[in-house]
Amino acid sequence: MSEEDATNSTQAYRRRGSAYAVDRGAGPAVLLAHGTLMDRTMFAPQVSALSDAYRVVAYNLRARTDRYRESYDLDDLADDCAALMDHLGIERAVLGGMSMGGFMGLRFALRYPERLSGLVLIDSIADPHTPEEQETYEEMIAGLRDAPAVPSRLAETVSHLLFGRTTHEERPDLVAEWVERWQTYPPASVVGEVESWLYREGVADRLGEIDVPVLVVHGEEDAALDVERAEPMLDALPDARLARIPAAGHSSNLERPAAVNEAVRTFLDDVA
């Protein structure tokens, strides 16, 4: 990351403050990075539950900021995370990332190992998406490149990837809230965040280099990334554990917060 880029990232968070990040509690630092189409508010249950003993920071990645038009990749997002830590005066932290946030988190662990005390991967994987998945996602965002808004039909379709069937049945209000929110996003912001990870290289062959404790959290109803695709990380990482979350899909921390919070708190207490 160039000095100019680092300055831009730091100034962006300083300029927008709480619009970009929420910083609550005191103690060992925990940073939370959201997934595609989500924002920092998806971690509200974790901020509320964990800030009694930890300094919890949930922040918006570039797609949910005024930098969404810039071309960027996962390494840039990892650099942004480091810049945010600098701005907040955080030397080391446990980094939690959901989906795209997890893709970034793995790269942060390899790029800034000295700044990490633990890693939480929520509904995320180390391998790249398959060519078939890449084609599917490319078709989904193709219509957004010149669109005036995110179509309701696309938002409804994506809801079945980001939320499990039990959540659709039992918490339709939660799903509807996010479907409505997605339709307010600038289409270019969605295209940019998908392109930041769609054709990424995998890092499965480098997991042995990550020498901090890792918690893998995964919804058992994840239709976007099946839990079986996360399990190989347990053997490749030097120190990893798995928390399978029943009745939860791709947004397991938002769908079943109590179960996820219990797993994360246990992990944090051990790490801290």
For 101-123, the pLDDT digits (tens) are: 999 999 999 999 999 999 999 99
Strand, helix or coil for residue 229 = helix
Q: What is the pTM of this model?
A: 0.93
Phi, psi values for residue 18, rounded to 5°? -65, -15
Q: What is the DSSP letter of 245?
A: E
The domain locations on the chain are: 3-129+201-271
Q: What is the pLDDT of residue 243?
A: 98
Q: Which amino acid is at 140?
A: M
The verdict on domain 3-129+201-271 having CATH code 3.90.550.10 is: no
Q: Are the CB atoms for 111 and 75 separated by under 8 Å? A: yes
Residue among 173, 174, 177, 179 nearest 152 (CA): 179
> What are the residues facing 94 on neighbouring strands?
30, 118
> What are the residues facing 120 on neighbouring strands?
96, 215
DSSP annotation string for 20-67:
TEEEE--SSEEEEE--TT--GGGGHHHHHHHTTTSEEEEE--GGGSTT
As to burial, measured by CB atoms within 10 angstroms (0-12 exposed, 13-18 middle, 19+ buried), residue 186 is: middle
CA triple 261-30-221, angle to 5 deg? 40
What stretches in the chain show pLDDT beneath 50? Answer: 1-4, 6-7, 9-10, 13, 15-17
> Which tens digit of pLDDT belongs to each residue from 126-162?
999 999 999 999 999 998 988 999 999 999 999 999 9
What is the distance between the alpha carbons of residues 237 and 142, in angstroms, rounded to a whole number?
Answer: 36
As to burial, measured by CB atoms within 10 angstroms (0-12 exposed, 13-18 middle, 19+ buried), residue 111 is: middle
